[in-house]
Structure 1
Amino acid sequence: MPKGETKRRPRTRAALLQAALETFAEHGFRAATIEQICERAGYTRGAFYSNFSSKEELFLALFDAHSDRILGRMTDLVDSIAAEDLTLPALVEVLCEIEPAERDWYLVTTEFTLHAIRDPQAAWVLARHDARLRAELARALTDHLARAGRTLTADPDEVARLLIAIREGGLAQSYVEPEQLPPGRLERRFLAPLLTALTTESGPA
């Protein structure tokens, strides 16, 4: 591969990912076409297929990128809190952060999840990526709780599943009734007592 093409590849991939997120959010995963994504990104179908084999593979790349960004943001926020101020309520506040742009991602991932429920092969693949996200979340949550002087008494993977379910279920209601239930309100009200019940005191890490 020519050197210039090697340097351009990350930019091309990033542009296609951003265009895909916007196109999926606007038209829906099933209705969106590869041509629409390429047109929005300013690239050809050849550029698309040199990076992704299908819309499904493109979505999964978006899924992993989104997961990494959210978990990285959470870690950065926790790291910015002074050790003496890192309490369970402070950690909960980090977990409750919902960025405005999250709405587009919610639309995209919800539709793909419905697609996966109908398609066993897509479900199998999505489950693998879900498992990776849960493992990273469970590891990060365990570490952050330890720094806050708490230790999980429940299986970390199951706690990660529960937190994801609360977040996704809360967002579903918030996006339908944003004035009655702003994003993050349910988590701010209930995550602290929930995590208190699922942890025990320990010495700060």
Structure 2
Amino acid sequence: MPKGPTKRRPQTTARLLDAALETFADRGFHGASIEEICERAGLTRGAFYSNYRTKEELFFALFDLHARRVVDRLTAAVDEIHDSEDPLRALVARISALDEAERRWYLLSTEFTLHAIRHPDTARTLAEHDRRLRTEIARLLAVLFDRLGRRPTVDLDSLARLVTALHEGSLAQSLVEPDRLPPDELPGTYLPLMVKAASRARRTHHTDP
């Protein structure tokens, strides 16, 4: 039978991840200490080091958790587009929802990206995590085009980069000017144009009876 520590590990990591996201968002990646994260999680330093070696490793665990949530949210949004009169607008509204967890993640991920730019080894690791998430986004874009009855005319990996840039850039501006720019305004305006420009309607073949 599994020993106690093994059975408790998922609970321990969940507490560390929750505490880390809050602490990183409040104090910054560099300003947050392992001691503060452990204190907020109600755990010891030993519990931290039995799961993660460094703050960077903890960040990448948070990245993977966030990526799974992004993919789940996108999958649900794509699955529901047939139920809407304006599928792309409905999709944008769902994926642009801004809550406190999303705000915290944006603060952390933006700061960590700058950290990675300054450290090539970290940048390579971040690029690999980005690539895995982008692969899933490109796959879902292919599904989206299919359900809209369109065929992509551009490289989907490149399009996934552009869609991500639109999302992250518009989110930054919305966080700076929340009263002037709702988080779904720019994606809602320009994503449909991007989809149209990056694809063409599928031809349907009719046969005489």
* TM-score normalized with structure 2 length: 0.90
Task: Return 5+ residue gaps in structure 1 as ranges.
Answer: none
Mapped to 2, the partners of 1:53 and 1:151 lie a distance apart of 45
Unpaired runs of 5+ in structure 2?
A: 205-209
1:156 aligns with 2:156: yes
* Correspondence for 1:147: 147
Q: Is the contact made by 1:91 and 1:144 (CA closer than 8 Å) also made in structure 2?
A: no
Q: Which residue of 1 aligns with 2:62?
A: 62
Runs of at least 4 residues of structure 1 off by over 3 A?
80-100
Higher mean C-alpha deviation, range 97-106 or range 19-28? 97-106
- State the alpha-carbon separation in 1 of the partners of residues 65 and 199 from structure 2: 30
1-side partners of 2:56 and 2:194: how far apart? 35
**1:41 corresponding residue in structure 2:** 41
Q: 1:59 to 1:133 in 2, by over 3 A?
A: same
Which whole-Å CA distance do the structure 1 matches of 2:110 and 2:7 have between them? 34
Residues paired across the two proteins, number: 204
Kindly state the Cα deviation for residue 170 of structure 1 after the two structures are TM-superposed. Answer: 0.8
Instruction: Map Cα deviations across residues 21-61 of structure 1 (whole Å, 9 max, x no partner).
Output: 00000000001000111111111111111111110000001
* Correspondence for 2:13: 13
Structure 1 position 110 matched with structure 2 position 84: no
Please identify the structure whose Cα radius of gyration is greater. Answer: 2
After TM superposition, list the pairs within 5 Å mapping 1:127-142 onto structure 2.
127-142=127-142
Q: Which amino acid aligns with 1:46?
A: G
Describe the superposition over 1:61-80 as per-residue Cα deviations: whole angstroms up to 9, x where unpaired. Answer: 10111011011012123324
Q: How many percent of aligned residue pairs carry the same amino acid?
A: 55
Task: Tell me how far apart the structure 1 counterparts of residues 167 and 112 of structure 2 sit (CA, whole Å).
Answer: 17
Secondary structure at 2:151 match in 1 = strand
- Separation in 1, partners of 2:91, 2:99: 17
Judge conservation of contact 2:84–2:90 (CA < 8 Å) in 1. no
- C-alpha spacing 1:84/1:90, structure 2 compared with 1 (3 Å): closer
Distance 2:133 2:157 in 1: 10
1:201 offset after TM fit, Å? 1.4
CA drift at 1:93: 4.0
Secondary structure of 1:200 counterpart: strand
Equivalent position of 1:32 in the other structure? 32
- Residue 178 of structure 1 and its aligned partner are, at CA, apart by 0.8
C-alpha contact 1:150 1:199 (8 A) present in aligned 2: yes
Q: Which residue of 1 aligns with 2:101?
A: 101
Larger mean Cα displacement after TM superposition, 142-151 or 6-15: 142-151
